[in-house]
Amino acid sequence: MSPFLLTRTLPVDATEASLRADVLAGLSRRPRTLPPKWFYDTRGSELFEEITRLPEYYPTRAEREILVAHAADIATASGARTLIELGSGSSEKTRHLLDALPRLHSYVPVDVSESALTGAAEALLAERPELNVHALIADFTGGLALPGTPGPRLVAFLGGTIGNLLPEERATFLRSVRSILSPGDALLLGTDLVKEPATLVAAYDDASGVTAAFNKNVLEVVNRALDADFDPADFDHVARWDSDAEWIEMRLRARSALTVKIHELDLVVSFEEGEELRTEVSAKFRRDRVREELGDAGLRLDQWWTDTAGRFAVSLATAV
């Protein structure tokens, strides 16, 4: 069996420190915000998996359709010998690519969760014992130091996750990705597309209330990690389309005036009735915008595939 290596570039206490910093910064000012990465504790991850199966939530199905239909095209165009997946989780998204890359030597999954990385690696190696897996415990938004693996390299950033970054964060992220690529290496990017607002809002405010539970779960994360006393029942889930920014915002709206104590931060936060806490931005894209942002980072958009309904796109961009 080929080797499985696990490298930690993220300090053991980095997650706790990052959460403390984000909560302190986001709740000490108005408008109040929390970044969406804190949704994904064990319960949050379970809820998101449930969301991906909801009839209203099309992105996961649409992206899977593209990968199934075009994995061979991606393999031919990239010629990848190393596949690097950012935010890999269970690595389910890239299995179609792994099957289609005949010359693949190494797979480098990158995630903040050690348990997710080891579980996914064990499952992959049971199916593909010849594959070299070098997992990285790292925060890909903070820059990456990659292992020495053969090129060409293909970096996969799927799921539309890039839409969770604000424009200046996206620019920084794409420049960071470009910095680790050599000419001829490529980025495979999943982007949700602009479409009618009703479809977009429904995807983030499903009739069965799963997304509402997912959104409110971030309060439980803060409660548990920082000894806070949020009551999720005090807040309503809100999903709103911003036509100017072309993104969906998820928010939590206070049902009445209330005060929350976050003991670990020695912080008291007061909410007025109707005041909102923004928990996620999910930008939607047009092809020209994707091409422009990639180009600004030194990446050339070479291939563009959409699902049959034209709801979601996967693009291949080459380092130039």
Q: What is the DSSP annotation of 222-233?
A: HHHHHTB---GG
pLDDT digits (tens, 9 = 90+) for 184-202: 999 999 999 999 999 999 9
CA dihedral 117, 120, 122, 124 (to 10 degrees): -130
* Chain mean pLDDT for the chain: 92
Return the domain boundaries, the chain: 1-140+150-320
pLDDT digits (tens, 9 = 90+) for 10-66: 666 677 888 999 999 999 999 999 999 899 888 988 899 999 999 999 999 999 999
- The better pLDDT of the pair 301, 148 is held by 301
**pLDDT value for 2:** 59
The listed CATH number (2.30.42.10, 3.40.50.150, 3.30.2270.10, 3.40.50.880) that belongs to domain 1-140+150-320: 3.40.50.150
Q: Is the per-residue pLDDT at 115 higher than 80?
A: no
- pTM attached to this predicted model: 0.92
What residue has token string 């931005």?
Answer: 281
- The better pLDDT of the pair 142, 148 is held by 148
Q: Tell me if 66 sits within 8 A of 91, measured CB to CB.
A: no
Cα–Cα dist 239/206, whole Å: 10
Q: Which residues contact 72 (CB under 8 A, 6 or more apart)?
A: 100
- Residues 212-219, mean pLDDT to the nearest whole number: 98
**pLDDT value for 102:** 82
**pLDDT value for 275:** 98
Three-state DSSP state, 62: helix
Q: Is the per-residue pLDDT at 182 higher than 50?
A: yes
**pLDDT value for 298:** 97
pLDDT band at 1 (very low <50, low <70, confident <90, very high): very low
How many CB atoms neighbour CB 89 within 10 A? 19
